[in-house]
Amino acid sequence: MSLIELQSHSTVSDGQLPPAGVVEEAATAGVTTLALTDHDAVAGVPEAATAAERLGVELVPAIEMSCVHEYAEDLHICGYWVDLEQIAPACERAQLERRERAGEIVENLRREGFDLTLEDAIREAGAADSIGRPHIARAAGASGDLGPFFEEYLVPGAKAFVPRRWPSAEQAIELIRDAGGAAVIAHPYWDISAPGEVEDLIRSLRPDGVETFYPPHTREQTAHLLALCEELGMVPTASSDFHGPTHKTFAKFGDYDTYGLGEPRVPARP
């Protein structure tokens, strides 16, 4: 039996476990092929690779890049098989922009009456290379299910939201490919709800694959993505987006449904 899990997060971005802990959790759950895809960061990959070798799990070196697109102010693109040194400058720039954006979001939250500073958010990020909105939410006092706080303050259109400015989706794909990687659009129906926009996004960006099997994707959405992959010669991938054992939404491996429609695959090393 194979179990493919091509998206997961560690304490290097907004996950709960260190990289080796993510791999241990995956091995326990029977994952056979894993990618650690920290947001805009690859510092956890070497530790994950060592743990994976010890535990007999195949580890694909990877990253999840946040980017902007006209259909989604927050679109995620995974890069598999990226060369860690070649992708490093893009990570550094993205991490710097994340800190600047965090400062602006903190200012907006202060205007809304929250008593927090950027330093509080940085402290909340702990060992993470990539500070993100979950860290800011917790620094502002949110806990447990961050959903309601996100909906009120941190999603596009909400009171304290600040859009990302770089990279565009096209640039993210180019950065991944220039670093020797295969570019896969992550969870399209998580970021975009209109099927026409999802289809247009995939047809225009022409990634190497699409994350087709994903816990929140419905049967209909999964079938749509699978049909597009078949038509366009793209690889349908899968993940449960593991963020840690007590994460409110993404807490376990093996959580996605194939609905019996097909099987996920791993993008070939370019």
Which residues form the interface with Mn ion (CB under 5 A)? 76, 186
Minimal distance, residue 66 CB to ligand AMP, in Å: 5
Structure tokens at 199: 């289809």
b/e per residue 110-120 (b: at least 16 CB within 10 A):
eeeebebebeb
Minimal distance, residue 223 CB to ligand AMP, in Å: 25
Minimal distance, residue 134 CB to ligand AMP, in Å: 5
Q: Please choose, out of 117-125, 145-153, 203-211, 218-226, the segment that lies near ligand AMP by the rule CB under 6 A.
A: 145-153
Q: How far apart are CA 137 and CA 116, in angstroms?
A: 10
In the chain, the largest separation of any two C-alpha atoms, in whole Å, equals 53
Residue 52 vs 136, nearer CB to ligand AMP: 136
Minimal distance, residue 243 CB to ligand AMP, in Å: 6
Residue 60 pairs in a beta bridge with 35
Minimal distance, residue 264 CB to Mn ion, in Å: 16
Residues near 68 by beta carbon (within 8 Å), at least 6 away in sequence = 74, 75, 163, 164, 165, 166, 167, 168, 169
Q: Which of 7, 167, 10, 169 is nearest to 90 (CA)?
A: 167
Q: Does 97 bind ligand AMP (CB under 6 A)?
A: no
Q: Please choose, out of 19-27, 142-150, 171-179, 255-263, the segment that lies near ligand AMP by the rule CB under 6 A.
A: 142-150
132 interacts with, out of Mn ion, ligand AMP, none, CB within 5 to 8 A per kind: ligand AMP
46 interacts with, out of Mn ion, ligand AMP, none, CB within 5 to 8 A per kind: none
Provide the strand spans (E) within 70-127: 72-80
Q: Which residues bind ligand AMP (CB under 6 A)?
A: 14, 39, 66, 74, 132-134, 146-147, 150, 155
